[in-house]
């Protein structure tokens, strides 16, 4: 899959300088034009995205990465559809700082919006150029040209391949934003094209950065204390350096790594070095509840929204609630890994980072190389779900490789290093106050959210763990809020409901006791959990059905259709109410109020003695704009639901004064097969002609809220603190 | 040198006797299927079959494997000629990142070889040692049900 055979790994190593010079093609200033769709705006030249060689081979470039979300196949599908070829005939190059446009980070459900729309439009442009060229060559009108499977057909049996045609014009031209899409023939967009990455993944093929092998490769382990904020006491390096198989112990300031030809030797050396013990030099972790700490910390107050409206009548009913979420972990199944090669003063890093370009910049600063001497190439790793250890391990690999020029170094973290050092999803507190008018409508709304930062991704050496370990250390990055409309802690804090007299404030808490950064959906998981729980609480106060109550406050027609579809497919109106231990819940959001719409209904059964939740049935509806792959969307939403149920039901990072105590899967349990829902049904609403909206993060918030609402319905008590554990359910049932 | 049999082939490897099987499979024999996940027997990403039973290869020192039969996903098929489970996982598109899938397939293989008519509850309980973080569980279950049928059996509904 990644093509990194031993030969290509070594062959690629010579490409750094070559690409540094040819990479300037897309650095030219764009001319004035209407806003082209997606990242065509940033890279308006067609050859940044699509190239056709004289043999007709089509290469498509994207700065976004395959993370297991199916993006590779979806982008091939988009390009193939517009160019009228089979997806298999397209080579797609993803996220390589030597070859692809810089599309920032693959995150925020933006890949289809930014890269998908860009490739769609670029492909339409290329198709138009091919058609024009064929018409000119055949001396016919463009209406007489048919493109199919890499050939252009004209009147009287004339035909020419794309390669012949493309040789006659340049693709280094600006995209026209208004080129129409193909309007005739069978469409590939909207079909379930099988994912091209799956065969290798289910047959033991080479599919991951972990699978890279090369001649002379050294295995490396980085040596650290048990978690963020700790460090090892002075280590017995001399003894370890003499252990069997140890080729090198790399030290630079506090940074330390062990290198060995055999991986097990590196692991054993790591264990020996860790045996000296560790200490915490940072200030102790708080003994009080982390949510209380964040709620009471000094904060920068950032207004989120302020919708006018008449003041609520003095006798209107007021509902208040406070919701909390603990720190959550990404918890990739495979610990982070990277392969680095330092050769002739150039550094190449094969990485599963979500942002090869910002990583490249950070690494260049870290190892003090000019930017053009560093290349980062994305290769899939285990799923990341946000900013996990991917960037940090890439830095660890780079520093280790610098000590052994010419030898590829494969650096992999151990399980407890991923658990102990990955940046977490912030603990959060949301306080809501709603005012209910006599007509059962909301007449006032107030949202306050407290959170640490949701973006600590590296943009400099100080954003990498190793950056703090070198001597002298790099200054740490200052945590920053993410401005709306994307938002960080305030993502999805602005309700999609039409509410008068409504306002919200993000209380951004800069000082974070635990290392935090982007976890899939950022603050949306918590804000949607809170808002959608609160909508049920308000509906209860208004004596209204939860779905009806949402609909009377919902004007956006696509939102209404998603809510109604989920409710109808679930049989919401026909549900049997009041059965002991059974409950139904509903949750809805439009991701960031700009992305995909997702609604879902859930039925749960609570076992009263154990407090165990059994999720019997989930029915979801999703509108992600024009559908490229219906099954791809279903796969993402199913995954979002299961992952969010795990977060919401059972996950919380634990710690004592000195370190994180969630150091493995026994100390940080996640969902296992016996606890996943009995069934999940996802209904995909297609919107042909509408922009792609991205799907990966649409379901987490609604799933969390639907669970909380179903549990409240089942036990008659509202649980407002995540996780909704069996202990909390038992306590609620006893009260 | 230590001798062991992997996918029916006798292998002789130069590794410390305490080396976990996983590192030998991946680094000495060049097999990608078994993955490092935790090194603790908690996640199942490294699952292989030893004498037809699922085993955590991250925990099993090779010194314990003399005369025992190791099977990995590479022994079940290839992308061109996938085994019944791999074919079912492709048909159901039962992967997101896919890092856990080889371990899932090996554990499911062990189950279906012994009992190709498990109940849904038995199936879920049997797969419980293997973690998936992408939330692909529903598809993995569908794929195993499909494979069970393809292998002449079928997963029986459990009364809930």
Q: What is the CA radius of gyration of chain A?
A: 27
In order, the DSSP letters of A105-173 are: -S-TT-HIIIIIHHHHHHHHHHHHHHHHHHHHHHTS-GGG-EEETTEEE-GGG-EEEHHHHHTTS-S-S
DSSP B1: -
Same domain, yes or no: A624 and A552 = yes
pLDDT of residue B160: 52
CB A338 within 8 A of CB A411: yes
Note down the domain range covering A186: 33-196
Do residue B32 and residue A676 have CB atoms under 8 angstroms apart?
A: no
Calculate the alpha carbon distances from A547 to A587, A597, A600 in Å: 9, 15, 11
Residues A594 and A495 in one domain: yes
Q: Please indicate whether, in this complex, the C-beta atoms of B96 and A264 are within 8 angstroms of each other.
A: no
Give percent of chain A above pLDDT 70: 95
Task: Tell whether B63 is within 8 A of chain A (Cβ).
Answer: no
Q: Is the preceding peptide bond at A152 cis, omega within 30 degrees of 0? A: no
Q: Does a structural domain hold residue A628?
A: yes
- Worst-scoring range by mean pLDDT, A4-8, A519-523, A695-699? A4-8
- pLDDT at A36 (0 to 100): 84
Mean pLDDT in residue range A82-107: 96
Please, which pLDDT band fits residue A187 given cuts at 50, 70 and 90? confident
- State the total domains in chain A: 3
Cβ–Cβ contact A695 with B under 8 A: no
Arithmetic mean of pLDDT, A5-25? 36
A380 & A495 share domain: no
Instruction: State the count of interchain CB pairs (< 8 A) between A and B.
Output: 189
A710 vs A31, residue with greater confidence? A710
- Cβ–Cβ < 8 Å for A449, A493: yes
Q: In what order do the strands lie in the sheet with A146-148?
A: A146-148, A151-153, A159-161
Q: Which of A200, A213, A206, A209 is nearest to A10 (CA)?
A: A213
Average pLDDT over residues A611-630: 98
pLDDT in tens, A444-461: 999 999 999 999 999 999
3-state secondary structure of B3: strand
What is the maximum alpha-carbon separation in chain A? 85
Q: What is the Cα–Cα distance from A335 to A414, expressed in whole angstroms?
A: 6
Least confident of A307-311, A334-338, B83-87: A307-311
Contact A204 B27 (CB under 8 A): no
CA distance A316 to A253: 63
pLDDT confidence of A681, banded at 50, 70, 90? very high
Average pLDDT of span B36-59? 98
How many beta carbons lie within 10 A of that of residue A430, not counting itself?
27
**What strand order describes the sheet that includes B69-71?**
B9-13, B2-6, B69-71, B47-50, B53-56
- CATH for A359: 3.30.365.10
- Shortest distance, CA A426 to any CA of chain B (angstroms): 19
Option in B15, B35, B82 nearest A334 (CB): B35
> Using a CB-CB distance cutoff of 8 angstroms, which residues of chain B are in contact with residue A267?
39
Mean pLDDT value across residues A107-127: 95
Under a CB-based contact definition with an 8 Å cutoff, are residues A456 and A387 in contact? yes
- Does residue B82 surpass a pLDDT of 70? yes
pLDDT at res. A10 = 38
How would residue A30 be classed by pLDDT, with cut points 50, 70 and 90?
Answer: very low
Q: A238 and A155, same structural domain? A: no
Of the residues A140, A165, A196, the one at which a domain ends: A196
Among A67, A199, A671, beta carbon nearest to B97: A67
Asked if CATH classification 1.10.150.120 holds for the domain at B84-150, the reply, yes or no, is yes
Regarding an ipTM greater than 0.90, the answer is yes
A333/B136 touch (CB, cutoff 8 Å), yes or no: no
Confidence class of residue A184 from pLDDT cuts 50, 70 and 90? confident
Residue A153 φ/ψ, nearest 5 degrees: -115, 135
Considering the domain boundaries, does residue A618 fall inside one? yes
Examine the pLDDT at A342 and tell me if it is beyond 60: yes
**Residue-level pLDDT at B159:** 64
For residue B10, the tally of other CB atoms under 10 A from its CB is 8
**Least confident among A485-489, A537-541, A607-611, B1-5:** B1-5
A105 plus A244 within the same structural domain: no
The confidence score (pLDDT) of residue A252 equals 96
**Confidence class of residue B27 from pLDDT cuts 50, 70 and 90?**
very high
Ranges A1-5, A568-572, A588-592, A717-721: which has the least confidence? A1-5
Residue A544 pLDDT more than 70? yes
What's the CATH superfamily of B2-75?
Answer: Beta-grasp domain (3.10.20.30)
Report residue A3's pLDDT band, with 50, 70 and 90 as the boundaries: very low
What is the CA A115 to chain-centroid distance, rounded?
A: 15
If phi > 0 it is left, if psi is from -120 to 50 it is alpha, else beta; for residue A175 that is beta
* A25 domain-assigned: no
The per-residue pLDDT for range A137-178, each reduced to its tens digit, is 999 999 999 999 999 999 999 999 999 999 999 999 999 998
| A434 and A415 inside one domain | no
Provide the residue ranges of all domains of chain B, joining segments of one domain with +.
Answer: 2-75, 84-150
Of B19, B39, B135, Cβ closest to residue A415: B39
Sorted by sequence, the CB contacts under 8 Å of residue A36 that are 6+ apart come out as A44, A118, A121, A175, A177
Statement to judge: residues A175 and A224 lie in one domain? no
Helical segments of A247-387, H only:
263-274, 290-296, 356-367
- In terms of domains, do A213 and A192 share one? no
In Å, how far from its chain's centre is CA A82? 27
For A246-260, what is the mean pLDDT? 97
A218 in Cβ contact with B27 (< 8 Å)? no
Residue A18 CB partners (closer than 8 Å, separation 6+): none
pLDDT of residue A186: 80
pLDDT, one tens digit per residue, over B114-137 is 999 999 999 999 999 999 999 999
A35-67 pLDDT per residue, tens: 788 999 999 999 999 999 999 999 999 999 999
The CA-based angle A294-A359-A628, given to 5 degrees, is 90
**pLDDT over 90 at A15, yes or no:** no
The continuous run of DSSP H or E covering A351 comes out as strand A346-351
């Amino acid at each position: 899959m990644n093509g990194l055979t031993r030969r290509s790994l070594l062959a690629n190593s010579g490409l750094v300088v070559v690409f540094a010079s040819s990479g300037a093609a897309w650095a030219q200033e764009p001319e004035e034009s209407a806003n082209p769709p997606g990242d065509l705006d940033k890279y308006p030249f067609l050859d940044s995205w699509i190239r056709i060689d004289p043999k007709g081979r089509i290469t498509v470039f994207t700065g976004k990465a395959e993370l297991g979300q199916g993006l590779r196949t979806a982008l091939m599908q988009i390009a193939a559809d517009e160019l009228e070829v089979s997806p298999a005939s397209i080579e797609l190059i993803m996220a390589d700082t030597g070859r692809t446009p810089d599309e920032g980070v693959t995150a925020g459900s933006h890949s289809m919006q930014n890269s998908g729309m860009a490739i769609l439009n670029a492909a339409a442009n290329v198709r138009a150029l091919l058609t024009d060229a064929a018409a000119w060559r055949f001396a016919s009108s463009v209406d007489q040209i048919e493109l199919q499977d890499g050939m252009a057909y004209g009147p009287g049996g004339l035909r020419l391949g794309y390669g012949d045609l493309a040789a006659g014009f340049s693709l280094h031209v600006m995209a026209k934003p208004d080129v129409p899409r193909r309007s005739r023939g069978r469409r590939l967009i909207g079909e379930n094209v099988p994912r091209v990455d799956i065969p290798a993944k289910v047959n033991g093929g080479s599919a991951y950065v972990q699978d890279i092998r090369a001649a002379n490769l050294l295995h490396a382990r980085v040596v650290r204390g048990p978690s963020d904020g700790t460090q090892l006491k002075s280590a017995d390096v001399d003894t370890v350096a003499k252990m069997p198989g140890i080729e090198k112990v790399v030290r630079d300031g506090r940074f330390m790594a062990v290198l060995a030809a055999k991986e097990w030797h590196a692991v054993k050396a790591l264990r020996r070095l860790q045996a000296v013990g560790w200490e915490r030099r940072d200030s102790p972790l708080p003994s009080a509840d982390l949510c209380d700490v964040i709620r009471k910390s000094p904060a920068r107050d950032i207004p989120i929204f302020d919708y006018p409206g008449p003041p609520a009548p003095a006798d209107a009913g007021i509902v208040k609630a406070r919701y909390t979420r603990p720190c959550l972990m990404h918890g990739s199944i495979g610990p982070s890994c990277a392969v680095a090669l330092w050769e002739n003063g150039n550094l190449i890093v094969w990485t599963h980072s979500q942002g090869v370009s910002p990583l490249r910049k950070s690494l260049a600063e870290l190892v003090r190389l000019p930017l053009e001497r560093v290349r980062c190439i994305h290769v899939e790793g285990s799923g990341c779900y946000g900013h996990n250890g991917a960037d940090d391990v890439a830095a660890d690999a780079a520093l280790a490789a610098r000590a052994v020029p010419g030898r590829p170094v494969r650096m992999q973290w151990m399980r407890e290093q991923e658990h102990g050092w990955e940046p977490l999803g912030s603990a959060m507190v949301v306080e809501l106050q709603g005012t209910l008018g006599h007509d059962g409508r909301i007449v006032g709304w107030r949202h306050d959210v407290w959170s640490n930062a949701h973006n600590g991704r590296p943009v400099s050496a100080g954003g990498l763990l190793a950056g703090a370990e070198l001597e002298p250390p790099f200054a740490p990055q200052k945590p920053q809020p993410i401005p709306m409309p994307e938002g960080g802690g305030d993502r999805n804090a602005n309700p999609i409901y039409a509410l008068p007299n409504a306002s919200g404030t993000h209380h951004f808490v800069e000082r974070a006791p635990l290392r935090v950064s982007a976890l899939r959906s950022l603050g949306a998981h918590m804000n949607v959990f809170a808002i959608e729980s609160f909508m049920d609480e308000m509906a209860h106060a208004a004596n209204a059905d939860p779905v009806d109550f949402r609909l009377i406050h919902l004007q956006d027609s696509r939102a209404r259709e998603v809510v109604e579809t989920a409710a109808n497919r679930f049989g919401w109106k026909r549900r049997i109410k009041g059965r002991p231990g059974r409950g139904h819940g509903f949750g809805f959001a439009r991701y960031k109020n700009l992305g995909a719409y997702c609604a879902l209904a859930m039925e749960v059964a609570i076992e009263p003695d154990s407090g165990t939740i059994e999720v019997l049935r989930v029915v979801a509806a999703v509108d992600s704009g024009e559908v490229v792959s219906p099954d791809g969307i279903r796969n993402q939403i199913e995954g979002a639901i299961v992952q969010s149920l795990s977060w919401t039901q059972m996950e919380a990072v634990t710690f004592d004064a000195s370190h994180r105590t969630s150091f493995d899967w026994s100390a940080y349990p996640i969902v296992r097969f016996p606890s996943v829902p009995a069934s999940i049904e996802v209904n995909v609403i297609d919107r042909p002609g509408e922009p792609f909206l991205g799907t990966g993060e649409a379901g987490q918030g609604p799933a969390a809220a639907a669970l909380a609402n179903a549990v409240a319905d089942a036990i008659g008590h509202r649980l407002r603190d995540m996780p909704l554990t069996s202990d909390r359910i038992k306590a609620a049932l006893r009260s | 040198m230590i001798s062991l049999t992997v996918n029916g082939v006798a292998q002789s490897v130069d590794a410390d006797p305490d080396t976990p099987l996983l590192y030998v499979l991946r680094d000495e024999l060049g097999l990608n299927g078994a993955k490092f996940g935790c090194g603790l027997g908690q996640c199942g990403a490294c699952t292989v079959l030893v004498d037809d039973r699922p085993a955590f290869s991250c925990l099993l020192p090779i010194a314990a494997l003399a005369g025992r039969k190791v099977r990995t996903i590479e022994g079940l098929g290839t992308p061109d000629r996938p085994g019944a489970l791999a074919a079912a996982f492709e048909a159901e598109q039962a992967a997101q990142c896919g890092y856990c899938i080889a371990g899932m397939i090996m554990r499911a293989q062990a189950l279906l070889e012994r009992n190709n008519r498990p109940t849904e509850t038995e199936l879920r309980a049997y797969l419980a040692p293997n973690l998936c973080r992408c939330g692909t569980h529903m598809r993995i279950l569908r794929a195993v049900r499909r494979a069970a049928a393809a292998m002449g059996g079928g997963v029986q509904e459990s009364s809930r």
